[in-house]
């Protein structure tokens, strides 16, 4: 054991070292002040970035933290990517279920390790392909799924007990999940074996994305119904993917994405606890989804700060005792909003850097955008390049060999600390605004995001931020053209024929019976998942189920904000 004298000497040596470092930094600042700097904004998504970071800017707690230990700043697994690489999960869907099934089989044959379903806009809003409001939009921005029949076709020949599936759906998420579960039953797969995620994050829809069906309170009830039912029946299924992606795409800063998304997550936890659920029964299946933007180091720091904040809140505020409840597991996607129509080949480079940031930040799953996604749905060739980008990262660069390789970097540690402080300050503002639900109803979140988006657009227009090929390095010659995938009227025609055939084959009396049973369950406090699943098994359509719930819950109407 060290003596008191030895401890005192150690403290004096540390103080001397800090004094020496401060003197060196002061001297550097003087030299820096005499130099010339470029006339651009040296900022990340919101703040000016210092030209140098040293140990004076960081905390010391990270020195003793290792991956796989609370609060998981450096990652949730001790083995990191040496144990298992991230899941390469390319977001895909277009036209009919038949066409998208072929794309999935192509991606799996090329080495993709998980599926991610992109739905068209009518499906996102809960409308069938043959509904009048779907006209002209069927299959255009994703795959059209209107019933169990479509879901069966979508996964025909793809064993659902061996492939994990992510579904980006929110307003009618509970319905699409039940279609998927019923399709698995048709394959003979026990529900307990299903692995995957349904996004199911309705709060960020009211905040940023605007694909909703029901008012806030009944929508939250449906989410907690899934927490409760899936904990027992599909224990390997992630019941929600709490999404910062769309908040960032709408124009937020990194700190706002971090804080607003985590605040949504805390709200879901509180609603589950209020239902009487044990937090450790449902929290281990909550997952997250982050946008990976252009500022390389800020994005890495954001992911590290997110893990730390989530772990501390779940343990210290919500009383979670299971370490799995403390661990933030997340999917990442490169930033669609950063893709440019001019010089589209530049998008390959942007995506590669963003994908690298996601991996260095410790993502469990990754989608890399295709170069053509700002112009149209991605072609098979463009998707292959995007997937190969991930494979080069995984197998050629060496970044998967070491856990949290930027841990200890003065800049990354300082940014991690700063983003955590910024998020905590925003949590206080959210509380002052009355919490997440009240803040949404009053437009508080929507205004903050709009203000941030306007500022960022001004910076681009004033050339304070350079976007290569857009406001700088613009070429006069004819733009490079690349093949594009266009979805014609044929997809809608095929879907309408398929729906007519399905309606002719099903038992209409059973359909009416199941829909009425769902209405009765929705009027009370009964968990509605079994009733929606029964509707799915009877081939009730997406809109029929939505309409039955809307008869009870009503429809959401967005307030007007100024």
DSSP 527-544: --HHHHHHHHHTT--HHH
**pLDDT tens, 178-201?**
999 999 999 999 999 999 999 999
CA–centroid distance for 42 within its chain: 28
Please, which residues bridge with residue 240 across strands? 286
Task: Kindly report the number of other CB atoms within 10 A of residue 250's CB atom.
Answer: 22
**pLDDT tens, 78-109?**
999 999 999 998 878 888 999 999 999 998 99
In this prediction the pTM is 0.92
Structural contact between residues 539 and 147, judged by C-beta atoms closer than 8 angstroms: yes
Q: pLDDT-based confidence at 480, cuts 50/70/90?
A: low
In this predicted structure, the answer to whether residue 60 has a pLDDT above a threshold of 60 is no
| pLDDT at 29 (0 to 100) | 83
Structural contact between residues 348 and 385, judged by C-beta atoms closer than 8 angstroms: yes
| pLDDT at 54 (0 to 100) | 86
In this predicted structure, the answer to whether residue 561 has a pLDDT above a threshold of 70 is no
**Percentage of the residues of the chain whose pLDDT score is greater than 90:** 77
Residue 60 three-state SS: coil
**pLDDT tens, 279-318?**
999 999 999 999 999 999 999 999 999 999 999 999 999 9
**pLDDT tens, 218-248?**
999 999 999 999 999 999 999 999 999 999 9
- Mean pLDDT, residues 379-399 taken together: 94
**pLDDT tens, 246-263?**
999 999 999 999 999 999
**Percentage of the residues of the chain whose pLDDT score is greater than 70:** 96
| pLDDT at 30 (0 to 100) | 85
**pLDDT tens, 44-53?**
887 888 888 8
| pLDDT at 63 (0 to 100) | 59
| pLDDT at 83 (0 to 100) | 94
Query: Among 12-16, 64-68, 535-539, which is the least confidently predicted range?
Result: 12-16
Query: Among 176-190, 214-228, 467-481, 526-540, which is the least confidently predicted range?
Result: 467-481
| pLDDT at 47 (0 to 100) | 82
- Mean pLDDT, residues 267-271 taken together: 98
In this predicted structure, the answer to whether residue 339 has a pLDDT above a threshold of 70 is yes
Half-sphere exposure of 61 (CA within 13 A, CB side): 10
């Amino acid at each position: 054991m060290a003596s008191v004298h030895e401890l005192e000497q150690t403290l004096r040596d540390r103080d001397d070292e800090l004094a020496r470092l401060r003197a060196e930094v002061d001297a550097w600042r003087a030299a820096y002040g005499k130099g010339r700097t470029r006339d651009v904004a040296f900022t990340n998504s919101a703040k000016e970035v210092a030209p140098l970071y040293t140990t004076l800017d960081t905390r010391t707690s990270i020195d003793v933290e290792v991956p796989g230990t609370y609060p998981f700043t450096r990652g949730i697994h001790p083995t990191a990517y040496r144990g298992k690489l991230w899941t390469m999960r390319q977001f895909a869907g277009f036209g009919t279920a038949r066409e998208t099934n072929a794309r999935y089989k192509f991606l799996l044959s090329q080495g993709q390790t998980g599926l991610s379903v992109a739905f068209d806009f009518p499906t996102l809003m809960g409308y069938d392909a043959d509904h009048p409001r779907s006209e002209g939009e069927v299959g255009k921005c994703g795959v059209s799924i209107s019933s169990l029949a479509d879901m069966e076709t979508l996964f025909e020949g793809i064993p659902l007990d061996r492939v994990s599936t992510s579904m980006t759906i929110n307003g009618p998420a509970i319905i699409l999940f039940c279609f998927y579960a019923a399709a698995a039953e048709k394959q003979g797969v026990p529900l307990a074996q299903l692995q995957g995620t349904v996004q199911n994050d309705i709060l960020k829809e009211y905040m940023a994305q605007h694909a909703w069906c029901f008012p806030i309170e009944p929508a939250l009830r449906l989410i907690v119904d899934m927490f409760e039912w899936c904990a027992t029946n599909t224990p390997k299924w992630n019941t929600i993917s709490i999404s910062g992606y769309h908040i960032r795409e709408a124009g937020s800063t990194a700190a706002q994405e971090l804080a607003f998304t985590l605040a949504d997550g805390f709200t879901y936890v509180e609603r589950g606890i209020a239902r009487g659920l044990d937090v450790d029964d449902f929290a281990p299946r909550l997952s997250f989804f982050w946008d990976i933007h252009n500022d390389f180091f800020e994005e890495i720091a954001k992911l590290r700060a997110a893990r730390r904040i989530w772990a501390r809140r779940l343990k210290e505020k919500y009383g979670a005792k299971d370490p799995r409840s403390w661990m933030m597991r997340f999917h990442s996607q490169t930033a669609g909003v950063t893709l440019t129509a001019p010089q589209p080949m530049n998008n390959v480079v942007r995506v590669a850097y963003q994908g690298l940031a996601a991996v260095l930040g410790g993502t469990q799953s990754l989608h890399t955008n295709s170069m053509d996604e700002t112009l149209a749905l991605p072609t098979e060739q463009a998707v292959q390049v995007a997937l190969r980008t991930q494979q080069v990262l995984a197998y050629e660069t060496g970044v998967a060999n070491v856990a949290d390789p930027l841990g200890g970097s003065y800049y990354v540690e300082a940014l991690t600390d700063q983003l955590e402080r910024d998020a905590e300050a925003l949590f206080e503002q959210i509380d002052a605004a009355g919490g997440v639900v009240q803040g949404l109803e009053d437009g508080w979140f929507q205004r903050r995001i709009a203000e941030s988006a306007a500022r960022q657009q001004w910076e681009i227009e004033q050339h304070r931020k350079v976007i290569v090929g857009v406001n700088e390095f613009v070429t006069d010659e004819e733009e490079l053209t690349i093949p594009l995938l266009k979805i014609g009227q044929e997809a809608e025609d095929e879907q309408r024929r398929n729906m007519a055939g399905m309606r002719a084959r099903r038992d209409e009396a059973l359909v009416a019976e199941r829909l009425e049973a769902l209405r009765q369950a929705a009027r009370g406090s009964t968990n509605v998942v079994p009733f929606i699943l029964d509707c799915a098994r009877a081939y009730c359509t997406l809109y029929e189920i939505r309409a039955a719930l809307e008869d009870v819950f009503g429809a959401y109407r967005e307030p007007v904000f100024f």
